[in-house]
Amino acid sequence: MTETSSKTKTGLISPTRRGALKTLAAGAGAAATMPLWARYSSAQSSAPIKIGFGKHATGIGAAYGRWYERTSVAALAKINAEGGINGRPVELVTEDDGTDPRRAAEVLEKFASQSECDVAFGTLFSHVVVGAAPRAAELKLPYFVVSEGHHVASGMLNRWTLQPGITDVKSQISAMAPFLTDVLGKKVTMIFPDYAFGYDHRDNLAPAIEAAGGEVVAKIAIPPTETSFTKYFPKIPRDTEVIYHVMIGPGVLTFVKEMGEFFGPSRPELFGFIDSLEATDLSSPGLEFLEGTYFWEGMPRYLQDDTPDYVKAYRDAVGLDANGASTADASDVSTSAHMFGCWETLHIIKAGMEASGYQSTADRQKLIEAVEAMTMFEAGPDHPQGTKMFNGKTHQVFGPQYISKVEGGKLSVVKTVPYEETLYDDEVDYTSMSF
């Protein structure tokens, strides 16, 4: 175990005070050396701000939940070292939502009525967000999701639900489509999970590929609980030049292995979303088939030669080695392409509370309005993924996207698409809706 991390009571890796002082900005280090009474003495209340974290501790999202929590713990260690929010310490109140929509709605109820949380935060899986968001509106509980589904920006949800820290599928696909058609091939078959997140890909890929001069020749949906995939591969048309795959669930490793066995050396080009292999070691037996193929990444898993210092500081705080695995256990691979959204969202909550002068749950509406007024997030310690733009009307952020190639069993970034190339027309104006 490195000196920048230590075991918590739950066994999670969290930054030690000594490690935080090494990786955070000088101002944060100075604040961290102050006694607690001095650090928070300017606040109207010394009571902690409580952020309810809906964790996918169990169910198909468990690997994401584990790393979402580690990233959130590290982010709050940084925020508290810098003096908290409005002079108050910040606490994470964690509840397992089981990666289940009904349970997630119950968790929101618990945050609001029992734990007295100021906001709710963290949910990833699309069907869980869609199922829980209506309850957030009923409770008038700000719900900051880190999901990447298009459900927020599509107008499906409500004014109390925002996605300011991670980009959505529609913008990601907009960034990827020209690379697919220009570099890999014009005829694309897509393989996607048969639920809300997969439908975002299904509905948005074809228009983006067509706009880039290509064609989606087949769409193959697979249940997320499927454990064998060989029966689906004969459905891929013979004229397919590129297979676009995005699978999530317990069978993703089997999916890739069986695809390799089916095609052998005469495969089409492959472009995948790293969702298929988040928390999975690329050196695992059977994944040799992926050598030379391409992936979308929200944030690079592997340390790149040109990685900025603020990204290195983020990785150190979370406890990532050069391969994107835990510094305490090299076999514990992260969900790097998504979990940065927790870090960034928590810093946005901080910025929103400070801009609105947030003091209590009576100020929740002011918090939403303050975040809606935000526009740009500059790359740096608070936003390590890169410079991005927030659209207050759609409650959705637009950020850089990374295209990586598997080379030598690792992912090397070959193209970075700036946020300006991921924008699309507004589909909703939440600011025109009542609270």
Q: Say which CATH number the domain at 186 has.
A: 3.40.50.2300
Q: Are 59 and 177 in the same domain?
A: no
List C-alpha distances in Å: 76 to 34, 205, 349.
17, 36, 11
Q: What is the pTM of this model?
A: 0.88
Specify whether 140 is located in the same domain as 263: no
The dihedral built from the CA positions of residue 251, 256, 261 and 262, taken in this order, carries a sign that is: positive
Look up residue 413 and give its amino acid.
V
Other C-beta atoms lying within 10 Å of the C-beta of residue 354: 13
Q: Is 347:385 a contact under the CB 8 Å cutoff? A: no
What dihedral angle (degrees, nearest 10) is formed by the CA atoms of 368, 24, 80, 7? 120
Greater confidence (38 vs 367) lies with 367
Over range 210-226, report the average pLDDT. 94
Lowest-confidence region among 22-36, 61-75, 263-277, 405-419:
22-36
The pLDDT value given to residue 25:
41
Per-residue model confidence (pLDDT) at position 43: 53
Assess whether 163 and 270 both reside in one domain.
Answer: no
Do 137 and 190 lie in a common domain? Answer: no
Same domain, residue pair 335 and 389 = yes
Q: What confidence score (pLDDT) does residue 249 get?
A: 63
Highest mean pLDDT (candidates 22-36, 135-149, 193-207): 135-149
Instruction: Looking at the structure, tell me whether residues 331 and 269 fall in a common domain.
Output: no
Q: What is the DSSP letter of 181?
A: I
Domain end call among 297, 329, 363: 297
pLDDT given at position 383: 98
> pLDDT band at 106, cuts 50/70/90?
very high
**pLDDT reported for residue 250:** 63
Boundary-marking domain end, from 297, 315, 336: 297
What is the domain extent for residue 311?
A: 6-167+306-399
- Quick count: other Cβ atoms within 10 Å of Cβ 26? 8
Say whether pLDDT at 402 is over 70: yes
Q: Is residue 39 pLDDT above 80, yes or no?
A: no
State mean pLDDT over 185-196.
93
Model confidence over 67-100: pLDDT tens digits?
999 999 999 999 999 999 999 999 999 999 999 9
Q: Is 338 left (phi over 0), alpha (psi -120 to 50) or beta?
A: alpha
Share of the chain above pLDDT 70, in %: 89
The answer to whether residue 22 scores a pLDDT higher than 90 is no
Regarding whether 182 and 238 lie in a shared domain, the answer is yes
Instruction: Identify the helix (H) or strand (E) that includes residue 325.
Output: strand 325-326
425 belongs to a structural domain: no
Residues 19 and 159 in one domain: yes
Residues 152, 12 share a domain: yes
- Answer yes or no: do 237 and 93 share one domain: no
Q: What is the mean pLDDT of residues 250-257?
A: 80
Does 129 or 247 have the greater pLDDT score?
Answer: 129
427 found inside a domain: no
- The answer as to whether 322 is a domain residue is yes
Whether the predicted pLDDT of 144 surpasses 90: yes
In a domain, 409, yes or no: no
Confirm whether 11 is domain-assigned. Answer: yes
Residue 364 lies in a domain: yes
Q: Of 236, 268, 297, which marks where a domain is finished?
A: 297
Q: If you ran DSSP here, which 8-state letter would residue 152 be given? A: T
Residues 69 and 123 in one domain: yes
Average predicted confidence (pLDDT) for the chain: 90
Q: Encoding tokens for residue 78?
A: 């940084």
Backbone angles phi, psi at 83, to 5 degrees: 110, 5
- Mean pLDDT along residues 374-400: 98
Q: What is the mean pLDDT of residues 278-301?
A: 92
Taking CA atoms, 104 is separated from 98, 100, 155, 386, in Å, by 7, 6, 20, 30
pLDDT for 35: 45
Q: Is the pLDDT at 30 greater than 60, yes or no?
A: no
Length of the chain: 435
Which tokens hold the place of 79?
């925020």
pLDDT in tens, 112-124: 999 999 999 999 9
What tens digit of pLDDT does each residue of 50-65 get? 999 999 999 989 999 9
Q: What is the pLDDT of residues 230-251, one digit of tens each?
A: 999 999 999 999 999 998 766 7
φ and ψ of 366, to 5 deg = -60, -35
Q: Is residue 16 scored above 80 in pLDDT?
A: no
Give yes or no: residues 23 and 163 share one domain. yes
Q: What is the pLDDT of residue 1?
A: 38
Confidence of residue 17 (pLDDT cuts 50, 70, 90): very low
Percent above pLDDT 90 for the chain:
80
Answer whether residue 277 is part of any domain.
yes
Residue 54: strand pairing partners:
95
Rg of the chain (C-alpha set): 21
Specify the number of domains making up the chain.
2
Judge whether 417 lies within some domain. Answer: no
